[in-house]
């Protein structure tokens, strides 16, 4: 199709055929695909062309001619515009069906797994108000300090007060700070002029303990006038806040956190429980954002591992130690590796808190530490991996399989890189045995996977 036939603001009537993995409806006009927010399969719409590219374009719904029976209509459309809840217009039952289909499709396309028996998604206990962490951008909008969320694919802020998927007390802290900072005329950071102090408000809340941590991402450790009084009011109003910190980020990149933290109040960590173990969580450390679902995720992983009392286990990408510490009393030894030094310190302290003497944690990348441990003669029976979205490094896969563990349990937040890594594991003599999706992120397109790989040898 010659894309020059389409112009911005053209209007077409069309049927929505499918959803992209990010929740946009797929519409085809003369076989040319458009991606459309707030459009569900089976709906007929009048679509306005927003942008035309070489292979696909973007449109928006001008009018619904017919709507899907699976649509939820009470959703604030700002949640779709910002991506806070890019599946929030779809009933929860259909969300989990779609996520399961996504995993099936990506395994077929990338790993050549025709009709692999992917289990139905383990549904979330809570489908809204579940997140224990928020990273909220702050901008001056019409001269007023405003909190909200960025419009998709931009740094244009849409004001939001109820973030829908965050715990309500986190929302309350953000709004309290917004209102108090307005009273003292605090200036938010401006990306264009590089002036202003406050960039983001980051809040963490322990699910089982209710302890809270507030990190203000700022351009300088020097406090503007009266900010100290706002902090005093904050900790007086929210008595379960145990930590307030500055995070210094004066860079121009898109990353949220800088490397330096300055403690303003309390301790540099909060405490929470997971699977009856106690954890200290520092500001830069990774901790699953949906605690009850993370507990289901880990229990599934432990079932897949079929742990034995004499097992030596490696917990790669160990974070603050949640996976390794949760299972340490079921096995002989746990070795964990993690690239974030503060998280490793957390893991070591967490092992002490839980009176464990069979855990060992080391700072470094998985692809460097794994060959080192192989040289040192550490022979794991089971390896757990829980990498970031980019998946596993090929060096790590080769080193891990060279130790010939009985089982490898792969926890993934990205089906695409997981499927790619399945092929790499199969090249090294391991086969995919089980795949269990778990919904840690209701109302969004994200899905977590627990998978079991076993040796052919």
Closest CA to 235 of 204, 213, 206: 213
CB 202 within 8 A of CB 256: yes
Q: Which residues of 429-444 are buried (b: 16+ CB within 10 A; e: fewer)?
A: ebebebbbbbbbbbbb
Phi-psi region of 424 (alpha: psi -120 to 50; beta: other; left: phi over 0): alpha
The residue annotated as part of the active site, out of 47, 201, 413, 452, is 413
Show Cβ contacts of residue 254 under 8 Å, excluding neighbours closer than 6 positions. Answer: none
Verify whether residue 102 is a known catalytic residue. Answer: no
CA 371 – CA 326 distance, rounded (Å)? 25
Answer for the pair 68, 84: CB distance below 8 angstroms, yes or no: no
CB 331 within 8 A of CB 356: no
Burial class of residue 257 in the structure, from the number of CB atoms within 10 Å of its CB (0-12 exposed, 13-18 middle, 19+ buried): middle
CA distance 184 to 407: 58
Residue positions annotated with a catalytic role? 413
């Amino acid at each position: 199709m010659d894309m020059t036939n389409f112009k911005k603001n053209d209007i077409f009537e069309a049927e929505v055929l499918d959803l992209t993995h990010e929740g946009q409806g797929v519409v085809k006009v003369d076989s040319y695909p458009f991606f459309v927010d707030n459009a569900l399969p089976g709906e007929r719409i009048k679509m306005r062309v927003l942008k035309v590219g070489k292979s696909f374009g973007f449109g928006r719904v001008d009018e619904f001619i017919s709507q899907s029976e699976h649509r939820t209509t009470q959703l604030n459309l700002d949640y779709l515009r910002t991506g806070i809840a890019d599946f929030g217009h779809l009933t929860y039952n259909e969300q989990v069906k779609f996520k399961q289909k996504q995993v099936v499709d990506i395994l077929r396309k990338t790993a050549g797994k025709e009709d692999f028996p992917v289990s139905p998604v383990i549904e979330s206990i809570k489908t809204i108000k579940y997140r224990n962490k928020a990273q909220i951008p702050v901008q001056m909008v019409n001269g007023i300090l405003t909190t909200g969320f960025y419009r998709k694919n931009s740094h244009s802020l849409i004001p939001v007060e109820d973030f829908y998927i965050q715990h309500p007390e986190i929302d309350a802290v953000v709004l309290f700070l917004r209102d108090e900072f307005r009273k003292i005329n605090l200036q938010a950071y401006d990306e264009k002029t590089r002036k202003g102090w406050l960039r983001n408000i980051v809040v963490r809340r322990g699910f089982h303990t209710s302890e809270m941590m507030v990190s203000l991402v700022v351009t300088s450790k020097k406090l503007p006038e009266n900010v100290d009084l706002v902090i005093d009011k904050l900790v007086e109003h929210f008595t379960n806040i145990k930590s307030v910190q500055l995070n210094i980020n004066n860079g121009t990149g898109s990353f949220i956190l800088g490397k330096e933290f300055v403690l303003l109040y309390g301790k540099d960590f909060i405490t929470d429980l997971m699977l009856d173990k106690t954890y200290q969580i520092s500001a830069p450390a990774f901790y699953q954002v949906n605690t009850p679902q993370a507990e289901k995720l880990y229990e599934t992983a432990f079932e897949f591992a079929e742990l034995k009392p004499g097992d030596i286990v490696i917990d790669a990408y160990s974070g603050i130690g949640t996976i390794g510490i949760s299972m340490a009393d079921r096995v002989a030894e746990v070795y964990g590796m993690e690239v974030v030094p503060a998280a490793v310190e957390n893991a070591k302290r967490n092992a002490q808190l839980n009176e464990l003497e069979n855990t060992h944690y080391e700072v470094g990348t998985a692809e460097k530490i794994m060959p080192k441990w192989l040289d040192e003669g550490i022979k794991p029976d089971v390896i757990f991996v829980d990498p970031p979205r980019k998946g596993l490094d090929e060096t790590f896969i080769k080193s891990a399989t060279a130790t010939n563990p009985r089982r490898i349990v792969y926890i993934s937040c990205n089906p695409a890189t997981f499927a790619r890594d399945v092929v790499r594991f199969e090249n090294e003599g391991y086969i995919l045995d089980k795949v269990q999706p778990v919904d840690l992120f209701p109302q969004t397109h994200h899905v977590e996977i627990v998978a079991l790989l076993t040796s052919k040898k």
